[in-house]
Chains A and B, each alone.
Chain A
């Protein structure tokens, strides 16, 4: 569908039904991923409301303990495998081809297959609520032996469905990773060397490399877990000579890098957005790019810090404490780069910028509690307590989810072709920022006082902070309302978006809003300068003025 003239005209009103079928256009797949992910976000969020409803009082008085355990397990599982990873893959699909000037992903059909696995394993996972015995109940870690006890002794059980769903999720993720990595390595626009590539693509490359290296270890460990559960093997059962701690090594060898898979794209989002809304180049662009890969390397050798109180030896604890501490250094480089970017900028506090600032604030706080957790003596006291729950929710909700919201508001005009409502956006930000801090800050004193995590009841001295946390959670629940209202009404009746509403620098902003199916098609512009050239007065691509003029004319005549 390449057009004879450039820039190509925006597509006519395409049928919305294409979002419901097997479509190989990365931009359609991206929307499919994001909408599906937010659907599961609502389910995971509902489960969180039940958890906090139970924990607002010390006794186990809202739901049965088995129900609580199933719910907190599925909350974590759904939020990770059905929300965070899919929504980030959605952003990858929208942004990678358009940012590098490619018409689509390297393997469009594989791309669609990878997406469609998500509702499939999502259904499998939700179905586990309805099998006899209920869903998996041992946390999203599924540590044996407790996860393979299978109380009812049925072959089809919640835990088995959980393992199958997670394995399928791994397959889907590897398919995606192959696609993203190949696309970034092979399909960049002429003139776009690695050090002219947007940081979002750097962090995507880094994150997806981690997926490729780490996921197979989880798959291997999960296969062995499934064998133990379903066929009576003894990989992790001590009676047969197995070792429960072996599972922990497999699990965390992937799941630690997984947290970098989550946060690296968010670092990429911050790196893209701070320059736009400060009208200033990204400070130390090259160092920010390189830091992404230092994080990849270090991220692969820290996993035992999740196992400090487990059955690991003293020398292992010390070694992994040192490697874990080192990750603070490249992360710090990025944080300081963002501060350097906004310093003496001309800030516009739009919704995306507010989410980035709030996300950065929460991230620095989480980084500090992370350093505390890295030191073995403190970790021995607070591991498996609410201190850890507070830490990772600050990172995931406080930083990553806020970064994702920032990205949604920022690129909504580009890919949907309409402007979101600023007022609702700012309200969403306020409720989210207050709600997240109110929900997750009290978890830190709880952990320090010794309240374990995953408990369906607790001693009365923990009540005060739990009440505050639950109120914060309910506020977070409410905060989603302006977001959903905004998305739906903007999509249906928002103002038409021009090709570059934020006056940003980047290849994606040289396309119509929304872009045609094959983006630049045959007329990929040649990149002639570094990204984020705010204030330098140089064009990003050859013939940029003509391209801009054509786009503006198109919009005027529409």
Chain B
């Protein structure tokens, strides 16, 4: 019983990208809320770190950060290939990006496994896992979307009319990267006071 969607909808690809960009702006506010909550709680708590916890190990997360930033570079390269019509180059860099993203998730899981505190270990535990977990969810979503786009790239003529899906996924990936940088500074760099 669905009404037919008018013909000209598909002739306005700008709409989808516009909508997606607006969505990303909205999504950034939820991260901003979590960040400001983290900062406020950290500066006002009487006992910030749980008993027995001295601080966070930052070297391995730094490696993960480098991996994630590099993946933003490879996804940009992939987009450049697509723009020039080089589908093979596109797929190659796209796959590398996915691999780097997957490695990031793996690194996150390893870090989580080795921590001495849990989600309910006071306000520090709660905010740590909430921030890294919510971000990790976005990384996983990004890898998933990239997988979808990769599969679609094998459908003939799929990108002949426009590469909105690729553009949107790429934007999303950069977004996830920027969020991580802020997160890294907030949680791992700012460990005193």
Q: A residues bordering B, Cβ < 8 Å?
A: 1-2, 17-18, 21-25, 28, 103-104, 106-109, 174, 177-179, 181-182, 185-187, 212-217, 219-221, 223-224, 227, 231-235, 240-243, 246, 249-250, 253, 517-518, 521-522
Which 6 residue pairs are nearest across A and B when measured between Cβ atoms? Answer: A220-B33, A216-B30, A241-B123, A216-B29, A233-B126, A241-B45
In the complex, what distance in Å separates the CA atom of A518 from the CA atom of B122? 56
Contact indicator B34/A241 (Cβ below 8 Å): no
Instruction: Tell me whether A186 and B2 are in contact in the complex, defined as CB-CB below 8 angstroms, given that A217-B33, A235-B126, A241-B124 are known contacts.
Output: no
In the complex, what distance in Å separates the CA atom of A20 from the CA atom of B9? 25
Contact indicator B29/A213 (Cβ below 8 Å): yes
Contact indicator B26/A21 (Cβ below 8 Å): no
CB within 8 A of B26: which of A179, A212, A234, A517? A212
8 examples of A-B residue contacts, CB within 8 angstroms: A107-B15, A213-B25, A227-B126, A233-B120, A234-B122, A240-B120, A240-B122, A243-B41
Contact indicator B18/A185 (Cβ below 8 Å): yes
Interface residue? B46 (CB, 8 A): yes
CB within 8 A of B120: which of A18, A214, A224, A234? A234
Q: Which residues of B contact A25 (CB under 8 A)?
A: 3
CB within 8 A of A182: which of B15, B28, B47, B126? B15
Contact indicator A108/B5 (Cβ below 8 Å): yes
Q: Which residues of A contact B34 (CB under 8 A)?
A: 220
CB within 8 A of A217: which of B9, B15, B29, B120? B29
Contact indicator B130/A242 (Cβ below 8 Å): no
Contact indicator B22/A181 (Cβ below 8 Å): yes
Instruction: Tell me whether A242 and B123 are in contact in the complex, defined as CB-CB below 8 angstroms, given that A2-B6, A22-B2, A25-B3 are known contacts.
Output: yes
In the assembled complex, the CB of A227 is this many whole angstroms from the nearest CB of chain B, namely 7
Q: Which residues of A contact B7 (CB under 8 A)?
A: 2
Contact indicator B26/A24 (Cβ below 8 Å): no
Q: Which residues of A contact B30 (CB under 8 A)?
A: 216-217, 219-220
Instruction: Tell me whether A234 and B6 are in contact in the complex, defined as CB-CB below 8 angstroms, given that A221-B33, A241-B46 are known contacts.
Output: no
Q: Which residues of A contact B33 (CB under 8 A)?
A: 216-217, 219-221, 250, 253
Instruction: Tell me whether A103 and B6 are in contact in the complex, defined as CB-CB below 8 angstroms, given that A186-B14, A233-B120 are known contacts.
Output: yes
Contact indicator A250/B37 (Cβ below 8 Å): yes
Q: Which residues of B contact A186 (CB under 8 A)?
A: 12, 14-15, 18
Interface residue? B190 (CB, 8 A): no
In the complex, what distance in Å separates the CA atom of A178 from the CA atom of B17? 11
Instruction: Tell me whether A216 and B26 are in contact in the complex, defined as CB-CB below 8 angstroms, given that A186-B14, A246-B40 are known contacts.
Output: yes
In the assembled complex, the CB of B9 is this many whole angstroms from the nearest CB of chain A, namely 8
B interface residues, tally (CB under 8 Å): 43
Q: Which residues of A contact B111 (CB under 8 A)?
A: none
- B1-51, CB < 8 A from A: 1-9, 12, 14-16, 18-19, 22-23, 25-30, 32-34, 37, 40-41, 44-48
Contact indicator B40/A233 (Cβ below 8 Å): no
CB within 8 A of A241: which of B12, B23, B37, B48? B48
Chain A at the B interface: SS class: helix
Q: Which residues of B contact A213 (CB under 8 A)?
A: 25-26, 29
Interface residue? B119 (CB, 8 A): yes
Q: Which residues of A contact B37 (CB under 8 A)?
A: 220-221, 224, 235, 246, 250
In the assembled complex, the CB of A158 is this many whole angstroms from the nearest CB of chain B, namely 22
Interface centre among A219, A232, A234 (most CB of B within 10 A): A234
Contact indicator A21/B126 (Cβ below 8 Å): no
Given contacts A17-B1, A241-B122, A241-B123, 16 further A-B contacts (CB under 8 A): A1-B3, A23-B2, A103-B8, A178-B26, A179-B19, A182-B15, A186-B12, A186-B15, A212-B22, A213-B26, A215-B26, A216-B32, A220-B37, A234-B123, A234-B126, A246-B37
Q: Which residues of B contact A215 (CB under 8 A)?
A: 26, 29
In the assembled complex, the CB of A540 is this many whole angstroms from the nearest CB of chain B, namely 23
Interface residue? B74 (CB, 8 A): no
Contact indicator A106/B19 (Cβ below 8 Å): yes
Instruction: Tell me whether A235 and B127 are in contact in the complex, defined as CB-CB below 8 angstroms, given that A23-B1, A186-B15 are known contacts.
Output: yes
Q: Which residues of A contact B120 (CB under 8 A)?
A: 231-234, 240
In the complex, what distance in Å separates the CA atom of A235 from the CA atom of B4? 48
Which of chain B's residues has its CB closest to A175's CB? Answer: B23
CB within 8 A of A246: which of B5, B14, B41, B47? B41
Q: Which residues of B contact A243 (CB under 8 A)?
A: 40-41, 44-45
